[in-house]
Amino acid sequence: MSENQARQPLEIVVFPMLSDNYGFLIHDPASNATAVVDPAEAEPVLAACKAKNWTLTHILNTHHHGDHVGGNLALKAKTGCRIIGPAYDRDRIPGIDVTVDEASGADFGSRHAQIFFVPGHTRGHIAYWFAEDHALFCGDTLFALGCGRLFEGTPAQMWSSLLKLRALPDETRVYCAHEYTQSNARFALTAEPENEALAAQTEKVAAARAAGRFTIPSTLKIEKACNPFLRADQPALRRRFGGPGMKDADVLGAIRAAKDRF
Ligand code: ZN
Ligand code: FE
């Protein structure tokens, strides 16, 4: 393909798994490669591939939790796909073939995804960013109007992870791994009741869910304006959750703790 010829965009399919997980198929028409991000189970992935007449060639894992890697071994046995996952967690990703980190990035078909090391939810969590396609696959780190629980990391780690993602362009589509948006919105409204963009987004989310539509992907434009976990350095949130001399990461930790109790 010549340099000035536009690339064929990646085709991305969203499908539900388990009770509230999403799987994502990523298809690269230039190479015919197809990846699934975080297969909780095998059957829905195979069905989604079949519906598009695509053959699974890769698994991209963000972290080791069972609802993200549960389908790895069955899919590898069925398709011979290559499993890509975080180098830091190589011992906890079933069937891993290729370990990646921020320095290596991840090769997929004709594409190269940038990797962000985003610990906090787990100690080895990574996110995949396809810059040309404005697509971010962030697992359980950033959610639409929320963020992941701190199972293995500190608020300081999560805040620095969220800042890496917040630095990406507004048009970035946020493919997070769970449909938690409506319950996240309920908490977010208590955290920042004066945020008009959040109130408007909450209405949109309610309408989407009432119509049976997915709320994923979100965009970073929406999340920067509405998501309290990306806004821990905003004065209103600092006033409500922080105190004098508190670091932004401490405010983030206080918001996360309030959400845990919510
Ligand atoms: Zn998780
Ligand atoms: Fe999860």
Task: Kindly give the confidence (pLDDT) of every residue in the chain, 262 residues in length, as a single tens digit, with 9 standing for 90 and above.
Answer: 445 456 799 999 999 999 999 999 999 999 999 999 999 999 999 999 999 999 999 999 999 999 999 999 999 999 999 999 999 999 999 999 999 999 999 999 999 999 999 999 999 999 999 999 999 999 999 999 999 999 999 999 999 999 999 999 999 999 999 999 999 999 999 999 999 999 999 999 999 999 999 999 999 999 999 999 999 999 999 999 998 889 999 999 999 999 999 9
Single out the catalytic residue among 89, 178, 248, 250: 178
> Radius of gyration (Cα) for the chain, nearest Å?
18
Give the SS3 label for residue 217.
coil
Could you confirm whether 27 is annotated as catalytic? Answer: no
Could you confirm whether 178 is annotated as catalytic? Answer: yes
Q: How far is the CA of 38 from the centre of ligand 2 (A)?
A: 9
Q: What is the largest CA-CA distance in the chain?
A: 58
**Domains plus CATH for the chain?**
1-101 (3.60.15.10), 112-262 (3.60.15.10)
Both tokens assigned to 255: 């918001």
Q: Which of 87, 85, 104 is nearest to 35 (CA)?
A: 85
Residue 40: nearest ligand to its CA? 2
pLDDT of 6 reads 66
* Ligand 1 is an ion; residues with CB less than 5 A from it: 65, 140
Distance CA 206, CA 215 (A): 9
Residue 37: nearest ligand to its CA? 2
Q: How far is the CA of 64 from the centre of ligand 2 (A)?
A: 9
* Ligand 2 is an ion; residues with CB less than 5 A from it: 67, 140
Q: How far is the CA of 142 from the centre of ligand 1 (A)?
A: 11
Place of tokens 């699934």: 36
Single out the catalytic residue among 28, 38, 133, 140: 140
**Full-prediction pTM beyond 0.95?**
yes
Could you confirm whether 67 is annotated as catalytic? Answer: yes
Q: How far is the CA of 177 from the centre of ligand 2 (A)?
A: 6
Single out the catalytic residue among 27, 58, 63, 64: 63
pLDDT of 7 reads 79
Place of tokens 């362009």: 169
pLDDT of 1 reads 47
